[in-house]
Amino acid sequence: MSATSSKLKNPNDSVMNQRVIKLAWPIFLQLLLGISLGYVDTIMLSNYNETAVGAIGNANQVLGFLTLAFNIISSATGIIVSQYLGAGKKEKMNMIYTVALSFNLVLSIVISFVVFIFSRNLLEAMQVPAAMLDESDMYMRIVGGTIFTQALINAFNSIFASNGKTVFGMIIGLGMNIINICGNALLLYGPLQVLGLGASGAAVSTCGSRVIAVIASVIYFYTVIKGKFSLKYLRPFPYDVLKSLLKLGIPTAGENISYDCSQLFLQAFINTMGIVAINAKIYANMLSMFTYMIALAAANATQIIVGHSVGAHDYDFAYRRVLKTLRFGMIISISVAIVNWLISPFTLGLFTGDKAVIALGSSVMFIAIILEFGRTTNLVIINSMKAAGDVKFPTALAIFSMWLLSVGLGWLLGIYFGMGLTGIWIAMAADEIFRGVVVFIRWIKGGWRGKRVVLEDKTSPTETAEVTA
């Protein structure tokens, strides 16, 4: 099928032709809201009980790592839904929705059960102080025991975004924050504070916000997306769909796990450099987060468009779209990074009065300008490669580069040559730039083409009846 004819026949051409910024700005706000949701409990508990703050911090470390498991399917769901919609195979969508949601639900329920039963054992293995063990255990049992709700929210958000409905994900994030803040206010400082729930009260608020978000997502799924979730789509079980989900999701999850582990190594290096380096790293990460989220939002929006265009066999459209986004994203990211560096003496001063921390943090923010050249390229192109079904190459490249350059070079410069935090940041920049150059070359040469995951199989009797109806 030619690119031209596929575009004419593509019923979801409107998604392909949407401007990246129209899809990206709700994603950006959703990312901001997601981060704030994680900080709300900590901030509101900081004036209530310092022990409770530590309890939540330890519990969230465990929960954050466990959520990587069900993100395997959530990330892959978005890619497959985009490609099938782009290919015009709407008769397959309900089967894909059902398999993705079912697998995510079953897997997350198992994880919830494990967390609920072995919560205390996991926290003891982390050497959580005895003073905060009970509160941390109760928080993790409540939040972790209902973690399947977050799995469903992630899966639904992937489905909505792939249908071009990124605004609703932002609304969900905003609603969850409002509900969580109101719940914390009632349970920690309001009329329900007499219950003395502490960290448990924050957990109840978090769970309540997620349950309401799931209900809202289900309603939106049926009424706006016009999707269906039914066990009839699992008989006979569509192993080909599950195989595609795992084929796309597992490499991505492996990359995320590898990244988290490499960051733990880097943090261990930084921990040997003293309190100035530790604090400068924390503040520099906070200041860089805004730039990162701008690039990530643009990358995720482009991923949706690329998935649709690859599904429609329009590889040339995807090629041009990515390069256009990369140019725009690079200008914005580098500009923000430069401003970040110029005002860093002032912004860092808002967090600390230590001149050594401010000086070190400012030098790191200068290196971050160079780092953004690579990171923006990586986010835009790698997300688009994955949207095209090219997941193994960027995953293998990322694992190789992050351990050789970020960790290996980081140790060499930061520890062996005594460059400290500056050496670590140079190594991270080298990692991002190396990967950025490699994936840019692969995108130009077209190594990602022809990896479309849409199955050209015959329509099943069930689907035929549905289409006819």
pLDDT, residue 42, reads: 66
pLDDT, residue 206, reads: 86
Encode pLDDT of 351-369 as tens digits. Answer: 788 899 999 999 999 999 9
In angstroms, rounded to a whole number, what is the distance separating the alpha carbons of residues 171 and 149? 17
Burial environment of residue 409 by CB neighbours within 10 A (0 to 12, 13 to 18, 19 or more): buried
Burial environment of residue 217 by CB neighbours within 10 A (0 to 12, 13 to 18, 19 or more): buried
3-state secondary structure of 146: coil
Mean pLDDT of 55-60: 70
Mean pLDDT of 187-199: 73
Mean pLDDT of 431-435: 97
The total number of residues shown for the chain amounts to 469
Encode pLDDT of 166-176 as tens digits. Answer: 999 999 989 99
Determine contact, residues 225/160, Cβ cutoff 8 Å: yes
In angstroms, rounded to a whole number, what is the distance separating the alpha carbons of residues 250 and 24? 25
pLDDT, residue 50, reads: 57
Helices (H), strands (E): how many in the chain? 18, 0
pLDDT, residue 460, reads: 41
pLDDT cut 90: percent of the chain above it: 45
- Tell me: pLDDT of 3 over 60: no
pLDDT, residue 48, reads: 62
Provide the mean pLDDT of the chain.
Answer: 85
DSSP class of residue 307 equals: H
Residue-by-residue DSSP string for 169-196:
HHHHHHHHHHHHHHHHIIIIISGGGGG-
- 188-192, 200-204, 231-235, 307-311: lowest mean pLDDT where? 188-192
Read off the amino acid at residue 107.
L
pLDDT, residue 35, reads: 75
Chain position carrying tokens 């109760």: 138
In angstroms, rounded to a whole number, what is the distance separating the alpha carbons of residues 138 and 122? 13
pLDDT, residue 412, reads: 97
In angstroms and rounded to an integer, the radius of gyration of the C-alpha atoms of the chain is 23
Confidence of residue 189 (pLDDT cuts 50, 70, 90): confident
Confidence of residue 124 (pLDDT cuts 50, 70, 90): confident
Select the more confidently predicted residue: 61 or 135: 135
In angstroms, rounded to a whole number, what is the distance separating the alpha carbons of residues 459 and 463? 6
Q: Which one, of 89, 94, 93, 96, lies nearest residue 11 by Cα?
A: 89
